[in-house]
Amino acid sequence: MTGMKNEVIDDFKSTLRGQMFQPNDSGYEDARQIWNAMIDRRPAMIVRCAGAADVMRCVAFARDHDVPLAVRGGGHNIAGNAVCDGGLVIDVSAMKAVCVDPEERRAHVEGGATLADFDHEAQAYGLATPLGINSTTGVAGLTLGGGFGWLSRKYGLTVDNLISAEIITADAKRLCVSATAHPDLFWAIRGGGGNFGVVTRFEFQLHPVGPEIFSGLIVYPFEQARQVLTQYQAFVNQMPDDLSVWAVLRQAPPLPFLPAEVHGRNVVVLPIFSTMGMEDARRAVEPLRSFGQPYGEHMGATPYAAWQQAFDPLLTAGARNYWKSHNFASLNEGAIDTVIEYAGKLPDPQCDIFLGLIGGEANRAAPDATAYPHRNVLYAMNVHARWTEPSKDSACIAWAREFFAAAAPHAAGSVYINFMTQDEGERIGEAYGRNFERLMRVKNEYDPQNLFRQNQNIKPSVRAA
């Protein structure tokens, strides 16, 4: 945007209802900060939109003046796609209204809402939809990448519960999309990321959940990791859909149910979630307690919204983060050995490796039912390098990359797009599989100039004249 006249920017600013931040403005430094402290970009303008009209004006301005464009919802994306250097950021984080219709079990959610915003409103009626595991995550980014969490085995992916959406496309028009209105575009935004426009409103199907669910943790010594993970894999293969159990290998946080001498030791944690009745859930998880000799456990009735926030203290904003991820159809012996090897040499106490369990209802849709194609995946594995001091950058990134390479022979050859870092553009094919060609056709129709390219980009194969 170098050389753009001040009066052009002033004219643009005068059309907005929301607030604009430029580099010399008070509030600019805070406005450009996002969740991952590894990302340090300086946009020329950040517009904190007050509504869809602001978004439309921003899109038109970026298109007409050939300005690089980024879109910020929750700002939680690992790759840092919410900000760009020298361009315009469309910040919808102030647009976070959630309106619940308890009779129809529908939620209308603005593009800046977080999981916490959503849960706060939906749980007032004992309703929920499958979302992620960190309450500060933005609903928009999570949904556009596919979205999975504790409810996915029971009710499918986030995109499987999306009924309609409102999106501002590259021509600065507002479209309402659904299975019957612009169905190709609706298909594409259900897993195709931010490649097709700015979604300003989502409509979700809701399900009866809570207000209390059964949840908790079992924490095993790291020395028992092989027997625990081997039995875990066997247990998962016969597990009911209304139970979800993940596996996390990390250093033990100072949890109150663990002896003080265990804090900081390497452990295997089994986080447990169930929508069964309390006694049925206790019986269902009983085998998990016999996988070894645990350091401790804490399980029982928990408010659903509280469980959605349980991992927030481990995922706060402002740390340096680098991820590498594989999808797995199963955990074979080689995969388990590799996980144990690298979990045994964590480069920082904040690092972890987790196996996010999917399966169940999420895997019953056809691979081409939505843009998200990975309906054969049982685990989304994330190598989560997280640290505070820049001096640890090289060691932490190298650890994640080395583990990623060692685990590749045992993986499914695919990846969840929301776990991809900014240096993984070559993995787009792995993210979309056989849906990639159709996604490119939709991109050609709705964004042939690739205005929306600050993302895991699907490049158009044609260019508009």
Query: Is residue 27 exposed (0-12), middle (13-18) or buried (19+ Cβ within 10 Å)?
Result: exposed
Which pLDDT tens digit goes with each residue over 16-37?
Answer: 999 999 999 999 999 999 999 9
Given a contact cutoff of 8 angstroms between Cβ atoms, the answer to whether 199 and 189 are in contact is: yes
CB 113 within 8 A of CB 96: yes
Tokens (6 digits) for 200: 């300003």
Per-residue confidence (pLDDT) for residue 425, from 0 to 100 = 84
Confidence class for position 3, pLDDT limits 50, 70, 90 = low
> Domain extents for the chain?
8-91, 98-209+436-446, 212-419
Confidence class for position 424, pLDDT limits 50, 70, 90: confident
pLDDT tens digits for 201-241?
Answer: 999 999 999 899 999 999 999 999 999 999 999 999 999 99
Distance (Å, rounded) from C-alpha 250 to C-alpha 308? 20
Tokens for 403, please give them. Answer: 């583990």
Angle between the N-to-C axes of helices 225-236 and 333-343, in degrees from 0 to 180, rounded to the nearest 10 = 140
Please tell me the distance from the alpha carbon of residue 59 to that of residue 133, in angstroms, as a whole number: 31
- Tokens encoding 81: 């796609």
Look over the chain and give the mean of its residue pLDDT values, rounded to a whole number: 95
Beta bridge partners of 198: 168
> How far is C-alpha 127 from the geometric centre of its chain's CA atoms?
21
The answer to whether domain 8-91 has CATH 3.30.43.10 is: yes
Q: What is the pLDDT of residue 465?
A: 45
Topology of domain 212-419 in CATH is: Vanillyl-alcohol Oxidase; Chain A, domain 3 (3.40.462)
**357-395 pLDDT, tens digit each:** 999 999 999 999 999 999 999 999 999 999 999 999 999
pLDDT at 52: 97
Tell me what the mean pLDDT of segment 404-430 comes to: 92
Instruction: Give Cβ neighbours of residue 387 (< 8 Å, ≥ 6 apart).
Output: 319, 320, 347, 348, 350, 351, 393, 396
pTM given for the model: 0.95
| CATH architecture of the region 98-209+436-446 | 2-Layer Sandwich (3.30)
